[in-house]
């Protein structure tokens, strides 16, 4: 007897055709042109791409942290709370966003010193967050701060709580930033390249910490990175961005084994041999850098934006291309995705 599979639980975050422009007196530039994402509850979605692809602008759009010239000009970003209440982050007023930030949404930035006040102890900064978002006495907030410092594995937390940011190492400061983001138990954490400035050993520790905290707290994580090695370590799903668009989204294993967009294929071919899944194959293969560079956002080519750099391009690639289905849960912005997958396997 055939039984249908249970329906998917509603996602924590569902972004549809998000568009963000920077508007100046004489001109405007669309930095995010068509970003659609689906982040399942309790999972990690990695947003990947080269510098200038629009990853960080997309994240700042979701958090309501765009600079004065930035405007969301189209699309939706529906955040769903645990009780089913939904909020379109693309249309929230600043006051409404402040209410969600902390208990529901939190963000970790790449450079911790830009997030920490050098004039306040790290403990005072976390305590102030708690006093802002929760009804606690200062004594209770300090106790909760000690608990979160221990959770993120700050050694001698009772002493380090009264340290200033400059008294800590880079890895320790990043743990403090993570503690600040997690202290109100957010349902959705956006991490913008949180390990890029750290050495490999500390990076591995931070990734292990984030995985463990996600399992304990049940968070959904949008993890922004340009490093596919990190993606393989931490993510359940991947969305690849290029020139302001999502060009491919799939489960991690599916994306690594059967990329359906030439840009994704190029990124995977550029991974150093030691990071390849098959070391024997890696030793025999040469790195294949993607020719050319990302086009400036104000001078994009017609049709597929990757066309000038693509080995599979043809005349119809000058036409607008939408996300095509390349398999269950696998979408790609390419007319020739079957040929791309065939070339990966051969």
Rounded to the nearest 5 degrees, what angle is found at the Cα of 137, between the Cα atoms of 134 and 140? Answer: 90
Neighbours of 173 (CB within 10 A): 21
Backbone angles phi, psi at 70, to 5 degrees: -80, 140
Neighbouring CB atoms inside 10 A of 305's CB total: 23
What is the spatial distance between Cα 120 and Cα 19, in angstroms, rounded to a whole number?
Answer: 37
Band of the pLDDT at 324, cuts 50, 70, 90?
A: confident
Judge whether 30 and 21 are in contact, CB under 8 Å: yes
Please report where in the chains the tokens 């961005």 appear, as a residue: 241
Q: How many helices (H) and strands (E) does the chain have?
A: 12, 12
Q: Which residues contact 181 (CB under 8 A, 6 or more apart)?
A: 106, 107, 108, 189
Q: Helix, strand or coil for residue 314?
A: coil
List the structure tokens of 79: 């955040």
Among 188, 200, 227, 287, CA closest to 48: 227
CA distance 338 to 240: 18
* Distance separating alpha carbons of residues 166 and 293, to the nearest angstrom: 37
Q: Tell me the torsion sign for CA atoms 273, 277, 283, 289.
A: negative
Query: What fold does the segment set 13-104+186-345 form as a domain?
Result: Rossmann fold (3.40.50)
Calculate ∠ Cα 66-207-124, nearest 5°: 60
pLDDT of 276 strictly over 60: no
What is the DSSP annotation of 127-189? Answer: HHHHHHHS---HHHHHHHHHHHHHHTT-TTHHHHTT--GGGS-HHHHHHHHHHHHHTT--SEE
Tens digits of per-residue pLDDT, 104-132? Answer: 999 988 777 778 999 999 999 999 989 98
Closest CA to 143 of 131, 153, 90: 131
Ranges of each domain in the chain: 13-104+186-345, 112-185
Q: Are strands 324-327 and 44-48 parallel, antiparallel or unpaired?
A: unpaired
Given a cut of 60, whether residue 299 has pLDDT beyond it is: yes
Per DSSP, what are the bridge partners of residue 237? 45, 251
pTM: 0.88
Length reported for the chain = 346
Q: Per-residue pLDDT for 94 more than 60? A: yes
pLDDT over 50 at 290, yes or no: yes
Strand, helix or coil for residue 27: coil
pLDDT at 275: 47
pLDDT per residue as tens digits for the range 187-214: 999 999 887 777 888 888 888 888 888 8
What are the strands, taking DSSP E only, across 43-161? 44-48, 70-80, 86-88, 105-108
For residue 2, what pLDDT is reported? Answer: 42
* Res. 270 pLDDT band, cuts 50 70 90: confident
């Amino acid at each position: 007897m055939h039984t249908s599979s249970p329906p998917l639980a509603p996602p924590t975050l569902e972004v549809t055709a998000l568009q963000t422009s920077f508007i100046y007196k004489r001109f405007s530039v669309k930095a995010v042109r068509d970003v659609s994402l689906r982040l399942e509850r309790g999972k990690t979605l990695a947003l990947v791409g080269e510098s200038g692809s629009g990853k960080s602008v997309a994240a700042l759009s979701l958090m309501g942290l765009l600079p004065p010239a930035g405007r969301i000009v189209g699309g939706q970003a529906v955040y769903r709370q645990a009780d089913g209440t939904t909020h379109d982050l693309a249309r929230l007023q600043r006051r409404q966003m402040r209410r969600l930030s902390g208990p529901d949404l939190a963000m970790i930035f790449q450079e911790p010193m830009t997030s920490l006040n050098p004039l306040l102890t790290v403990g005072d900064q976390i305590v102030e967050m708690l006093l802002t978002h929760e009804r606690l006495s200062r004594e209770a907030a300090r106790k909760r701060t000690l608990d979160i410092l221990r959770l993120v594995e700050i050694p001698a937390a009772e002493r380090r709580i009264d340290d200033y940011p400059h008294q800590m190492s880079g890895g320790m400061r990043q743990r403090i930033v993570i503690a600040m983001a997690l202290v109100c138990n957010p349902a959705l954490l956006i991490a913008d390249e949180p390990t890029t400035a750290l050495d490999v050993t500390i990076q591995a520790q931070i990734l292990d910490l984030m995985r463990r905290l996600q399992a304990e707290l049940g968070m959904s994580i949008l993890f922004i990175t340009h490093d596919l090695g990190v993606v393989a370590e931490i993510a359940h799903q991947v969305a690849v961005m290029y020139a302001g668009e999502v060009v491919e989204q799939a489960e991690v294993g599916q994306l690594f084994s059967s990329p359906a967009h030439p840009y994704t294929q190029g990124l995977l071919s550029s991974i150093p041999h030691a990071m390849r899944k098959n070391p024997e194959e890696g030793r025999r293969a040469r790195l294949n850098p993607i020719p050319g560079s990302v086009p400036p956002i104000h001078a994009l080519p017609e049709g597929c934006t990757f066309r000038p750099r693509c080995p599979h391009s043809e005349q119809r690639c000058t036409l607008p291309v939408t996300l095509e289905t390349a398999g269950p849960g696998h979408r790609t912005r390419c007319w020739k995705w079957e040929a791309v997958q065939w070339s990966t396997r051969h």
